[in-house]
């Protein structure tokens, strides 16, 4: 296992990663990849990005497809999860982007299959004046339905399965792994949020997702924080690592701690949450996971930069030390 990061595509940030002893990164520029002209990535543009990242002594270990967690209104391929007749056109562009990534030597694509964005409320206070990302379903459950609601679990699963059936064979053909993020956070089944069911917001839902394809190229951007948000006890988190890790479906790990659990939580520093992060790392090791461990959604300090360099440096150091401790156990 090794520490890695998802970062904005800026030279100063890439330099910062190298200074912190981080050698693997998930990053892309906001434009210039072919999306504006053709709606899909171009291999030569991705190659230039990879070469630029490598010029800082870093490895471009993964990139995010523009199937993001920002909400359906901000997607460039919205028809996939809206289920409109245009979804085949959008899926074709996904497949062309996978082929471009393969030509550029990028081994892993991370993506979301979500209609809602990441849902959070007002920030919560933390130690020394920092603030935490916060969620409490009771504070938000009466928010009005969205214009494209309702989307039932049945509808969501049909759209997800339609995508997986068409995309994963292409990914396997070109040798590019596909890691899907879970729905953040999970919502009550049969109720959802704003008229939208979140079928990848429970452990059983994520298991059903994995069962959609037996390809070794079909797996998870395993967000430990989001998994913890689905659970009522820490033991369920370690069990989830064992379940998906033993099946070799964990491709990338967002190593985030929370305080709380299902329907109410704060996203905290790794040393102060309810999940035993050392136990979690031991569990990844137990199932043979040897990939990236990255910090995610760091708390905010008014003493920090907008990007949160100080908070990230703390998390990098914590993760590097934790990996060293667990790996030295033999």
Give residue-wise pLDDT tens across range 118-148: 999 999 999 999 999 999 999 999 999 999 9
Residues 6 or more apart whose Cβ sits within 8 Å of residue 5: 17, 22, 24, 25, 26, 294, 295, 312, 316
DSSP 3-state percent helix, strand, coil across the chain (nearest 5): 40, 20, 40
pLDDT of residue 266: 98
DSSP state of 241: H
Taking all residues of the chain, what is their mean pLDDT, rounded to a whole number?
97
State residue 14 phi and psi, 5-degree precision: -65, -40
Domain boundaries, the chain: 2-327
**Geometric angle at alpha carbon 218, from 167 and 172, rounded to 5°:** 60
DSSP state of 196: B
Asked if pLDDT for residue 318 goes beyond 90, the answer is yes
Q: How confident is the model over 144-166, as a mean pLDDT?
A: 97
Q: Edge-to-edge strands of the sheet including 131-136?
A: 124-125, 131-136, 264-268, 257-261
pLDDT of residue 99: 98
Alpha-carbon distance of 25 to 149, in angstroms, equals: 36
pLDDT of residue 206: 98
**Assigned token pair, 165:** 């059936």
Q: How confident is the model over 181-196, as a mean pLDDT?
A: 96
Q: State whether residue 251 is helix, strand or coil.
A: strand
Nearest to 316 by CA among 16, 3, 6: 3
How many other CB atoms are there within 10 angstroms of residue 311's CB atom? 20
Give the residues across from 24 on adjacent strands.
4, 59
**Assigned token pair, 89:** 């056109």
Radius of gyration, alpha carbons of the chain? 19
The DSSP-derived string for 65-113 is -S--SS-GGG-SSTHHHHT-TTHHHHHHHHHHHHHHHHHTT--EEEE--
- Condensed to tens digits (0 to 9), the pLDDT of residues 257-297 reads 999 999 999 999 999 999 999 999 999 999 999 999 999 89
Hey, what CATH topology would domain 2-327 get?
TIM Barrel (3.20.20)
**Assigned token pair, 232:** 């009522």
- Condensed to tens digits (0 to 9), the pLDDT of residues 72-115 reads 989 999 999 999 999 999 999 999 999 999 999 999 999 999 99
Write down the pTM of the prediction.
0.97
Asked if pLDDT for residue 3 goes beyond 90, the answer is yes
State residue 102 phi and psi, 5-degree precision: -60, -45
């Amino acid at each position: 296992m090794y520490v890695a990061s998802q970062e904005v595509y800026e030279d100063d940030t890439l330099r910062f990663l190298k200074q912190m002893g981080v050698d693997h990164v998930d990053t892309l520029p906001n434009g210039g990849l072919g999306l504006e002209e053709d709606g899909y990535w171009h291999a030569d543009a991705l190659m230039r990005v990879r070469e630029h990242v490598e010029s800082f002594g870093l490895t471009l270990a993964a990139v995010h497809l523009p199937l993001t967690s920002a909400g359906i209104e901000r997607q460039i391929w919205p028809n996939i999860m809206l289920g409109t007749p245009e979804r085949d056109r959008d899926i074709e562009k996904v497949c062309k982007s996978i082929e471009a990534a393969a030509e550029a030597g990028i081994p892993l694509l991370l993506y979301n299959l979500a209609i809602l964005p990441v849902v959070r409320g007002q920030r919560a206070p933390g130690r020394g004046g920092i603030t935490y990302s916060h969620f409490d379903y009771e504070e938000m459950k009466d928010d009005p339905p969205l214009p494209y609601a309702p989307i039932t679990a049945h509808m969501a699963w049909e759209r997800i399965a339609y995508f997986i059936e068409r995309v994963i064979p292409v990914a396997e053909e070109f040798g590019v792994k596909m890691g899907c993020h879970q729905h953040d956070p999970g919502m009550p089944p049969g109720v959802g949020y704003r008229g939208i069911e979140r079928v990848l917001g429970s452990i059983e839902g994520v298991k059903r997702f994995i069962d959609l394809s037996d390809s070794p190229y079909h797996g998870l951007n395993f967000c430990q924080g989001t998994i913890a948000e689905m659970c009522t006890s820490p033991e369920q988190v370690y069990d989830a690592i064992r379940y998906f890790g033993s099946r070799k479906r964990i491709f990338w790990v967002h190593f985030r701690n929370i305080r709380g659990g299902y329907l109410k939580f704060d996203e905290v520093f790794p040393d102060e949450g309810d999940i035993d992060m050392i136990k979690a790392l031991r569990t990844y090791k137990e199932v043979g996971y040897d990939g990236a461990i990255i910090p995610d959604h760091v708390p905010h300090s008014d003493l920090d930069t907008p990007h949160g360099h100080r908070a990230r440096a703390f998390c990098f150091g914590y993760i590097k030390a934790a990996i060293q401790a667990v790996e030295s156990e033999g």
